[in-house]
Amino acid sequence: MLTFQDIFRSSFLENITGVSLLDMTLALVTAFLLGLFIFFIYKKTFAGVQYSSSFGVTLVALTMITALVILAVTSNVVLSLGMVGALSIVRFRAAIKEPLDIAFLFWSIAVGIVLAAGLIPLAVFGSALIGGMLLVFANKKPAAEPCIVVLRCADSEAERRAGEYLRGQVKRFAVKSKTVRAGCVELDAEVRLRSDDTDFVNALAALPGVESAVLVSYNGEYMG
């Protein structure tokens, strides 16, 4: 009867050759260089709230680690089986704050896999194309970024006057929410500015019945 031990003593494993020193060096050095390129693109295209340098270093390390793992898997069947079992129980709990960060993580992993497979031209050309695309589209800003104006008025008449004045000062005016309390009307409106001049907020706050006026930049995900 053929046992599990007999299978791994067969001539199948004897035909497997290890990875040469030249292949290891070339793959890991190229992974390091492309990882630095991914880090550079991430730094240039970052548009989040708080930049994390450790995430950029993680991209470089992830590219090299992926290449190292794939090299090991492709060189030894026994090791690949153990690697699959070990990686299947790994769980990551780190929160991804920006949707674009997911693309950078998959980019690093993909480059490591492609390099370990020996497809260096594909890894270099693909990284250059992806990096150029991200530089063009990720840094592209809209012609007029939206802002939120928060108004606090004493009554509906003051709200009407403030709304008419605000419509005349901005390119676009759209009410997002309205809260009415006894002796107070709170209005949140999305506006598109005509220029960087925000002096109209001072004049808006000085209107009779307007208790306060706040202008906040807004990108659709956070205010600040």
Total domains, the chain: 2
Domain boundary among 75, 108, 137: 137
On whether both 186 and 107 belong to a single domain, the answer is no
pLDDT attached to residue 83 = 59
11, 76, 112 from 16: Cα distances, Å = 9, 7, 22
Residue 120 has a CB neighbour count (10 Å cut-off) of 15
On whether both 95 and 13 belong to a single domain, the answer is yes
On whether both 133 and 158 belong to a single domain, the answer is no
Decide if 184 is inside a domain: yes
On whether both 98 and 199 belong to a single domain, the answer is no
Could you tell me which of 111, 84, 139 has the C-alpha nearest to residue 30? Answer: 111
On whether both 25 and 128 belong to a single domain, the answer is yes
Domain boundary among 113, 137, 161: 137
On whether both 209 and 119 belong to a single domain, the answer is no
Domain boundary among 137, 167, 183: 137
Could you tell me which of 219, 189, 218, 183 has the C-alpha nearest to residue 204? Answer: 189
Burial of 206 (0-12, 13-18, 19+ CB in 10 A): exposed
pLDDT attached to residue 33 = 93
Domain range for residue 205? 146-217
Decide if 10 is inside a domain: yes
Decide if 222 is inside a domain: no
On whether both 156 and 190 belong to a single domain, the answer is yes
On whether both 160 and 105 belong to a single domain, the answer is no
On whether both 9 and 101 belong to a single domain, the answer is yes
Decide if 81 is inside a domain: yes
d(C-alpha 33, C-alpha 139), whole Å:
23
89, 118, 130 from 121: Cα distances, Å = 33, 9, 14
pLDDT attached to residue 206 = 83
On whether both 127 and 172 belong to a single domain, the answer is no
What does pLDDT average to in each consecutive run of 10 residues of the chain (224 residues)?
Answer: 52 54 85 92 78 83 87 66 56 68 88 87 91 81 71 84 84 83 84 79 84 75 41
Residue 51 has a CB neighbour count (10 Å cut-off) of 11
Name every residue whose Cβ is closer than 8 Å to that of residue 126 and which is 6 or more positions away in sequence: 110, 111, 114
